[in-house]
Amino acid sequence: AAWTGLVDGRLNVRTATPRDDAALLDLDVGEPGTGFPSVFARERASFFGTGDPSATLVAELEGDVVGYLRLGHPTPLAENAHVVSIEGFSVAGSRRGTGVGRALLEHAKSTARRRGATKLSLRVLSTNARAIAVYTAAGFTLEGVLVAEFVIDGRPVDDLIMAVAL
């Protein structure tokens, strides 16, 4: 279904297909302070690798992929099956602040509900203020802090756990 609240209703959020691989790989780069330098530096031939493309939502504007959000589960346990987690999320730099991220998050909530989930969760680095603001605006609240969970560029960085009830 198309998101009608952005750019005259021309943004379409859909399930990824294998043909999106190259565009998503190009989009999946980080900005300083937003992620893991070791991950961004990895050489990858494929965005999907051995994963299932249908786990990824793609935001497309006028034929261009401008964002994605990958869904998964925090654990493989049946007791945790009611929770869907955001495992990856990115919006093209030129499209940040335009509502693409908000559209992807709303579609993620709808998709998780359709899958029977009652909670959508994510983890975000405490240094990624822009993402935290987007998640908060979408109704996510802080549920926990893993203090100094990572060391990035020689500095300890907290890992925040956020979630929204569905």
Full DSSP string of 26-45: HH--PPTTTS-HHHHT---S
pTM, two decimal places: 0.89
Q: What is the pLDDT of residues 27-80, one digit of tens each?
A: 887 676 678 887 877 788 899 988 899 999 999 998 899 999 999 999 999 999
Beta-strand relationship, 11-15 and 64-72: unpaired
pLDDT-above-90 percentage for the chain: 75
Q: Tell me how far apart the alpha carbons of residues 92 and 55 are, in angstroms, rounded to a whole number.
A: 19
Candidate from 9-18, 76-85, 157-166 with smallest mean pLDDT: 9-18
